[in-house]
Amino acid sequence: MPRLSDTLWDIAVAEVSKNSEEKENEEDLETRERSVFFLGSKSGGKTTIILRFLDRDEVSKPTLALEYTFGRRARGHNTPKDISHFWELGGGTSLSDLAQIPITVDNIRTLSVVLVLDLSKPNDLWQTMEKLLTVTKNHINKTMNELGKKDSININEIKQRSWKNLQKNHPDWELVDPFPLPLVIIGSKYDILQFYSNKSETTVSKLRTVLNNLAFGTDRSKTISVEYNKPLFVPAGMDSLSQIGSPPATEVDLGKINARNPIDLWKKVYERLFPCESTGEFKDIMDPAKVPQYAEPEVDVMRTQKDQELEQYKRNASKSWKEMEFDMHGR
């Protein structure tokens, strides 16, 4: 109730404050949903990270294609639990086309991406990172363009949000092309390289803070660690190319490398030290129909029958082509 002494300005400020408070109260009573998309190196530890974050005491199994799970978190007493949807892409880079499934017009505003790279396999690391980020970014841009035809305001907000972690006076401002959605890159299995134990509560705690921010919108971590003898922890926008320095090569060698920018220079030096050894990941992918945990007797019998029919068809087709070829030569 406005007082007689209140000016028009006082009344307007009070009204805006009241509306904001009512809106916050309404939001507190609504269930908020977010999505987190995990992808990265094959057998890099993505499933283990998700299960550890969700406090699920389960033995992780290889992810054959694309798997889904979810988690809930209460904001407070007598409030709805927020929901986070977790998608995990298996197979390393071989199934990258499936990245389009978790990226939709409905969740693009609340989607985050987590790229897990296996540090124990440096020869495949850069190629895995580059291919998966490129494919994912293409799907994101395609989805954003689709949404932009209906809702250009939200698209502009998403694009502006991708720059918010980088100040305009940042030394790399002109060189940066930020990923369109929140992106976290995790280097897994660092302990295999330097330490005896593969269990570190410090890194688990830090990662939990990061995932809580992506999955449930909690405060973003401001911790930073750039000591290379320890696990690195660098939030977006808190490093720079000048701080990282030049790649490990002599000035003479660097002068011979034709690079477009500092990141391209790092890539070429890295690939000289760790040339890619991957010859294709499709060979290593297990056929889901032959995995014991997915056995279905009736389905498997029918599948065997169909496989036999297919092989017979192939043999018959092969004979037909040979006979046709022989007939053509005979004429």
* Same-domain pairing of 232 and 320: no
Q: How far apart are CA 181 and CA 185, in angstroms?
A: 13
The contacts of residue 246 (CB under 8 Å, 6+ apart) are 254, 265
Final residue of a domain: which of 241, 261, 276?
241
Assess if residue 74 is contained within a domain: yes
* Amino acid (1-letter code) at residue 84: S
* Same-domain pairing of 50 and 122: yes
Assess if residue 19 is contained within a domain: no
Assess if residue 159 is contained within a domain: yes
72-111 pLDDT, tens digit each: 998 777 778 899 999 999 999 988 889 999 999 999 999 9
Q: Which two tokens stand for residue 280?
A: 């294709």
- Residue closest to 284 by CA, chosen among 98, 18, 9, 93: 93
Greater pLDDT, 151 or 187 = 187
193-232 pLDDT, tens digit each: 644 334 677 888 888 999 999 999 999 888 898 888 888 8
Q: What is the dihedral of CA 158, 160, 161, 166, to 10 degrees?
A: 150
Residues in the chain: 331
Q: What is the largest CA-CA distance in the chain?
A: 110
- Residue closest to 223 by CA, chosen among 241, 242, 236: 236
Final residue of a domain: which of 241, 270, 302?
241
Report angle CA 222, 224, 227 to the nearest 5 degrees. 175
Final residue of a domain: which of 207, 241, 275?
241
Assess if residue 144 is contained within a domain: yes
Domain extent, residue 294, equals 288-324
- Residue closest to 129 by CA, chosen among 187, 47, 67, 207: 187
Assess if residue 280 is contained within a domain: no
Assess if residue 262 is contained within a domain: no
Q: How far apart are CA 59 and CA 61, in angstroms?
A: 6
Handedness of CA 263, 267, 273, 274 (dihedral sign): positive
Token pair 């978190």: residue:
73
What are the helix (H) ranges across the chain?
8-28, 46-53, 122-148, 152-161, 190-194, 201-216, 241-244, 251-256, 262-273, 297-330
* Amino acid (1-letter code) at residue 154: N
* Same-domain pairing of 81 and 198: yes
pLDDT confidence tier of residue 159, bands split at 50, 70 and 90: confident
* Same-domain pairing of 196 and 309: no
How high is the mean pLDDT of the chain? 81
Q: What is the pTM of this model?
A: 0.74
pLDDT higher than 50, residue 8? yes
* Same-domain pairing of 114 and 231: yes
User: Could you give the percent of the chain with pLDDT greater than 70?
Assistant: 79
Assess if residue 255 is contained within a domain: no
Q: Which two tokens stand for residue 312?
A: 């017979």
* Same-domain pairing of 230 and 93: yes
* Same-domain pairing of 159 and 38: yes
Assess if residue 261 is contained within a domain: no
The CATH number covering residue 234 comes to 3.40.50.300
* Same-domain pairing of 232 and 294: no
